[in-house]
Amino acid sequence: MSAGRSDTLLSVENLEITLGRHGAWSPVRNVTFDVKPGETVGIVGESGSGKSLSCRSVLRMLPPGMRVTGGRLLFDGRDILRFGRGELQALRRTGVGMVFQDPFSSLNPTYRVGSQLAEVLRISAGLDHRAARSRAIELLDRVEIADPARRFSSYPGELSGGMRQRVMIAMAIAAAPRLLIADEATTALDVTTQAQILKLLRGLRDESGMAILLVSHDIGVVAETCERIVVMYGGHVLEAGPTASVLRTPGHPYTAALLRSIPTIASAGHPRRLAAIPGQPPEPGGNLAGCPFAPRCEYRQDACEHLDMQLSPAGRDHDTACPFAGPGVPPVPGPLPTKATS
Amino acid sequence: MGSGSALAPAAGGPASLAARLAGRARRLTAGWNIETRMGVVIVGVLILISLLAPLISPARPDTISILDALKGPSLAHPFGTDYVGRDVLSRTLYGARIDLLVVFTVTYIGLIVGGLAGMLAGYFGGWVDSLVGRAADSAIAFPFIILVLVVITITGSGLRGIGIGIILVGWALYARLARSEMLSLREEQFMIATRSLGYSHWRSIFRHALPNVIRSSLIYSTVDILVNLLVIAAMSYLGFGAQEPSPDLGGLIASGQPYLLNAWWITTLPGIFVVLFGFGISLIGDGLSHGDVSVGIR
Amino acid sequence: MTSGCKPERDQAASAGEPLVAVEGLVKLYPVRQSARDRLLRVPAREQRAVSGVSFEVMRGEILGLAGGSGSGKTTTARCLTRLVEPDEGTLRFDGRDIRAARGPELRELRRRMPMVFQDPYSSLNPRIRVGAAVLEAGRVHQRPGSDDGRQFVAGLFERVQLSAGLAGRYPRDLSGGQRQRVAIARALAVGPELLIADEAVSALDVSIQVQLLNLFLELRDDLGLSILFIAHQLAVIAEVADRVGIMDSGELVEIGSTQDVFLRPQHSYTQQLLAANPDPQRALAGDAGS
């Protein structure tokens, strides 16, 4: 029960999440990653990758019917899955804050924004009404909402999407959590608003030393904000490591293919057929053995269908689940046209 | 139409037809919960025996035999006889048949007329909507029993008058339902797509909107049938319904009332029929509304 | 507010009459008044969803329309097909006046510029099989070849790279990417000259988005289709569009060839938009995580 100070803040080890009885289907098969104190880690994946579920399992907030059926989740060295109600509540209140994708459905439209925020403060920090109110206004200011005292009395419907998301962030950081999980927090926002929110998150992190786990389907978002990146696909982690390293020299065919295929502004005026990845992401319900990317992979071999999907360094400074990675496989993505070469 | 049969087994013979129907039935009922199934069974049985009344009644419903009057349940007369010796079971079955035929007819006429009016009102808006809206509001606001009495003074007593009264009010409920469904459906992208592809209004309404709009009306009609049945029974009980010698359930219940103490069976059996029917319909309505839980995982 | 830069005079990239010519398009939305204002008869302010927009689409070109939410790009597209009635402006398709068209004439115009919508989960009628939906589009307009249902649908499915066996399925059995292909097939079935793609790939997974972008490029190259491609992600537009227009708060602030606009943006809003777009390459150059 001691607050064991370990080197790692959050450690997810071989996580498996299953829907239905008798192992009907596991949307998360074998996921391992960690977050150190003060770090910003990004999880990138398409639909069906299991990234959202993995994060929700940290707070044990899985949808009905889904359970963790394997692996460990350690927060500060302690096993979250074994937490009693009191410890879990403490975790949700002061250990980890979470921001979701759709701010409108996370805020109760019939209550004013300020009172929802103040409620969080009263519960998690035990403040009285007056203290909670003034702290709430401080928080609204910290998340860069203009005229916070007036906005305290606004209803969610009166705020723009970006502002609502800022309120959600305020609620999530109210109790100064050590880890903030942002699950597609900017996906529903305008590009310019998204940029502002990401900047806000970086600022908050720099100020308070809070760690951030940023989940997104957009590699660009993760690349700009995170020091380390975890690439997920079909319920597995395919690759993980320092962002710059993973993006410059990807160690997994999926990552390489993704980088080759995503649209970039730099291609403006250089018409090219994008190197699309054939096929589609795995359908829910299938429990494929081996590497989930195999059906679409250009380097596919027979052994891929029986792969153990363990991460190993494979000669680069980050980890990959593809044992065939080596010199030339996958090929380093060629230089894309840059502004200089237009 | 087009390549819609791409997945069906190649057509060939009654055996494959039966297999396909069975498959369809299984898929259709797959999602049904226990309530819906029980309800369907109960209602189905009642409807079946009522419709088959001419075939399965032990006797003719209007055969008078004073000698056998007021006899209790026996082998010859499983539910006894009434005050002029007519077989209660037969009368009940025939009476139920009349009621069911009438109630299904008037409910679905109301659904068709009201549904149509509501869809057009919701789709076009403007004066069509105002017109339908006002008519519907008037129909609902009007006290029902008085309306029926007025109709009856014109048409004379009998189920026809009650039926017309029910339709005059019932359509309005379906109109409201269809209208609000259409209002939200109109904004769905596939509906907007029909306009952007240059389809005519009629195609948009009848080919595309209708199959989606009809669903909630059909669900509502299961409850409406029950309500209408009770209304018919009540009005008949009061004497406005089908007259002797072929009364319906309400009339039968009324006819046995004077004999409640010494010949309870005359009233009770028709009464049980009505109660069971209502019970079955409620189960179906309940079951259908509890169903439809889709688990979506993104 | 603005950098004082007028939209570049829209230079036609290729010779010939434009397929679509929009001039001075305005669409107003009345702003809800409080009861007090209404009582005091304060004149209702109107919101300009689209404010004086002018552009052209040439035959065989892909024109991108970019901007944030609320910029008016979708409203502009809907005005073009009169799904929404414009308040002011001239709109021409192949020289014909779009605003004056009625009934059958309007339907015929719409046939020539169908739309593909954003949400693959609601743009197909859930109760109609996908093959039937595509065939219906062809039959309604009596397209050549639509009598032979099976062949007609198979041909279209092939063009959008869908297996013909899927024709008998309902939309719910298909993935998002497959549904969008069906929507495109349905639009192609009417024999269009212009395709209006309203955020058509925005709701799809990245790896699928790219497949569909390639499809749009093919349609332009093989069929000579013009495409009005609306999107909020600039990178997507950069990959497919020949020319692009940037919209902000109802105004078209900049328009020109994709290369010019993206690599040498003139207007401050365009520059702002480009800076805000997340770009892995730029992030790498600037060192990730900073």
DSSP string, B157-219: SSHHHHHHHHHHHHHHHHHHHHHHHHHHHTTSHHHHHHHHTT--HHIIIIIIIHHHHHHHHHH
Chain C contact partners (≥3 CB pairs within 8 A): A, B
Residues A25, A18 contacting (CB under 8 angstroms): yes
- How close, in Å, is residue A146 to chain C by CA atoms? 19
CA separation for the pair B6, A256 (Å, rounded): 39
User: Which whole number is the average pLDDT over C156-174?
Assistant: 93
First to last CA, chain B: 34
Interface contact A225, partner B, CB < 8 A: no
pLDDT surpasses 60 at C7:
no
**pLDDT in the model for residue A340:** 32
Task: Identify residue B91 by its one-letter amino acid code.
Answer: R
- How close, in Å, is residue B5 to chain C by CA atoms? 6
For residue A278, give the DSSP letter: P
Answer yes or no: is B29 within a domain: no
Listed ranges A109-118, C136-145, C202-211; the one with the highest mean pLDDT: C136-145
Q: Closest chain C residue to B214 measured between Cα atoms?
A: C127
CB contact under 8 A, C289 and A227: yes
Task: Identify residue B34 by its one-letter amino acid code.
Answer: I
- How close, in Å, is residue C67 to chain B by CA atoms? 21
| CATH at residue B199 | 1.10.3720.10
Interface contact A340, partner C, CB < 8 A: no
Interface list for A 30-49 with C (CB within 8 A): 40, 46-47
CB contact under 8 A, C277 and A220: yes
Express each pLDDT in B186-200 by its tens digit. Answer: 888 899 999 888 898
CB contact under 8 A, A263 and C278: no
Answer yes or no: is B183 within a domain: yes
- Count the neighbouring beta carbons within 10 Å of the beta carbon of residue A62: 16
User: Which whole number is the average pLDDT over C200-228?
Assistant: 92
CB contact under 8 A, A52 and B295: no
Express each pLDDT in B208-254 by its tens digit. Answer: 999 888 888 888 887 788 788 888 888 888 877 777 767 788 888 88
Task: Give contacts of A194 with chain C, Cβ < 8 Å.
Answer: 276, 278
- How close, in Å, is residue C212 to chain B by CA atoms? 19
Write the DSSP assignment of B149-169 as a string of letters.
HHHHHHH-SSHHHHHHHHHHH
- How close, in Å, is residue B119 to chain C by CA atoms? 17
Structure tokens at A182: 């942002």
CB contact under 8 A, C81 and B196: yes
**pLDDT in the model for residue B31:** 58
Express each pLDDT in B52-78 by its tens digit. Answer: 877 777 777 777 777 777 777 777 777
Express each pLDDT in B116-127 by its tens digit. Answer: 999 999 999 899
Q: How confident is the model at residue B10 (pLDDT cuts 50, 70, 90)?
A: very low
Task: Give contacts of A258 with chain C, Cβ < 8 Å.
Answer: 206-207
Answer yes or no: is B196 within a domain: yes
- How close, in Å, is residue A311 to chain B by CA atoms? 26
| Minimal Cβ distance to B196: which of C110, C128, C136 | C110
Q: Closest chain A residue to C64 measured between Cα atoms?
A: A268
CB contact under 8 A, C281 and A46: no
Task: Give contacts of C168 with chain B, Cβ < 8 Å.
Answer: 3-8
Task: Identify residue B211 by its one-letter amino acid code.
Answer: P
Task: Give contacts of C239 with chain A, Cβ < 8 Å.
Answer: 263-264, 267, 272, 274
CB contact under 8 A, B212 and C125: yes
Q: Closest chain B residue to C179 measured between Cα atoms?
A: B190
**pLDDT in the model for residue A2:** 38
Interface list for B 98-127 with A (CB within 8 A): none
* Of B158 and C152, more confident: C152
Interface contact C232, partner A, CB < 8 A: yes
Answer yes or no: is B127 within a domain: yes
Structure tokens at C152: 């007609």
CB contact under 8 A, B7 and C140: no
Interface contact A284, partner B, CB < 8 A: yes
- How close, in Å, is residue C267 to chain B by CA atoms? 33
Write the DSSP assignment of C53-96 as a string of letters.
EEEEE-TT-EEEEE--TTSSHHHHHHHHTTSS--SEEEEEETTE
- How close, in Å, is residue A169 to chain B by CA atoms? 23
CA separation for the pair C230, C65 (Å, rounded): 5
User: Which whole number is the average pLDDT over B249-261?
Assistant: 84
The helix/strand/coil state of B21 is helix
Interface list for C 126-155 with A (CB within 8 A): none
Q: Closest chain B residue to A48 measured between Cα atoms?
A: B298
CB contact under 8 A, A19 and B297: yes
CA separation for the pair A228, B77 (Å, rounded): 87
Interface contact B297, partner A, CB < 8 A: yes
Helix B265-290 to helix B249-256 angle, to the nearest 10 degrees? 140
**pLDDT in the model for residue A239:** 92
Interface contact B294, partner A, CB < 8 A: no
Q: Domain span at residue B245?
A: 102-260
Task: Give contacts of A264 with chain C, Cβ < 8 Å.
Answer: 235, 238-239, 279-281
**ipTM over the 0.90 cut-off:** no
CB contact under 8 A, B3 and C119: no
Task: Give contacts of B297 with chain A, Cβ < 8 Å.
Answer: 19, 27, 63, 284
**pLDDT in the model for residue B286:** 77
* Of A236 and B39, more confident: A236
Interface contact A19, partner B, CB < 8 A: yes
* Of B145 and A292, more confident: A292
| This prediction's pTM | 0.80
Structure tokens at B114: 């009201």
- How close, in Å, is residue A180 to chain C by CA atoms? 16
Interface list for B 218-237 with A (CB within 8 A): none
| Minimal Cβ distance to A227: which of C177, C207, C288 | C288
Average pLDDT over all residues of chain B: 80
Which stretches does DSSP call E strand in A20-160? 25-35, 40-44, 66-75, 78-79, 96-99
User: Which whole number is the average pLDDT over B123-149?
Assistant: 89
CB contact under 8 A, B297 and A284: yes
CB contact under 8 A, C263 and A339: yes
Size of interface A-B (CB pairs under 8 A): 9
CB contact under 8 A, B297 and A47: no
**pLDDT in the model for residue B26:** 65
Domain total of chain B: 1
Interface contact C277, partner A, CB < 8 A: yes
**pLDDT in the model for residue B180:** 93
Task: Give contacts of B208 with chain C, Cβ < 8 Å.
Answer: 125, 128
**pLDDT in the model for residue C151:** 93
Q: Closest chain C residue to B189 measured between Cα atoms?
A: C123
Interface contact B298, partner A, CB < 8 A: yes
Q: How confident is the model at residue C16 (pLDDT cuts 50, 70, 90)?
A: confident
CB contact under 8 A, C281 and A191: no
Backbone dihedral angles phi then psi of residue A126, each to the nearest 5 degrees: 65, 25
Print pLDDT tens along chain A (342 aa): 334 445 889 999 999 998 877 667 888 988 999 999 999 999 999 888 899 999 999 988 888 888 898 899 999 888 988 888 888 888 888 889 889 887 767 788 888 988 888 988 888 778 888 899 999 999 999 888 888 888 899 888 888 888 888 999 998 888 889 999 999 988 878 888 889 999 999 999 898 889 999 999 888 899 989 999 999 999 999 999 999 888 888 888 899 888 888 888 877 777 677 788 888 888 777 767 888 998 888 888 888 888 888 888 865 678 888 887 665 566 655 443 333 333
- How close, in Å, is residue C168 to chain A by CA atoms? 20
**pLDDT in the model for residue C261:** 93
Residues B48, B97 contacting (CB under 8 angstroms): no
Report residue C247 CA to chain centroid gap. Answer: 13
User: Which whole number is the average pLDDT over B71-94?
Assistant: 81
For residue B31, give the DSSP letter: T
Size of interface B-C (CB pairs under 8 A): 100
Interface test with C, best of A264, A298, A332, A338 (most C CBs within 10 A): A264
Express each pLDDT in C50-72 by its tens digit. Answer: 999 999 999 999 999 999 888 89
* Of B112 and B247, more confident: B112
- How close, in Å, is residue A196 to chain C by CA atoms? 8
User: Which whole number is the average pLDDT over B36-49?
Assistant: 85
**pLDDT in the model for residue A335:** 44
Answer yes or no: is B71 within a domain: no
Express each pLDDT in C232-287 by its tens digit. Answer: 889 899 999 999 999 999 999 999 999 999 989 999 999 999 988 888 877 777 65
> Would you list the domain boundaries of chain C?
120-191
Contacts of B107 (CB under 8 A, 6+ apart): B166, B170, B221, B224, B225, B228
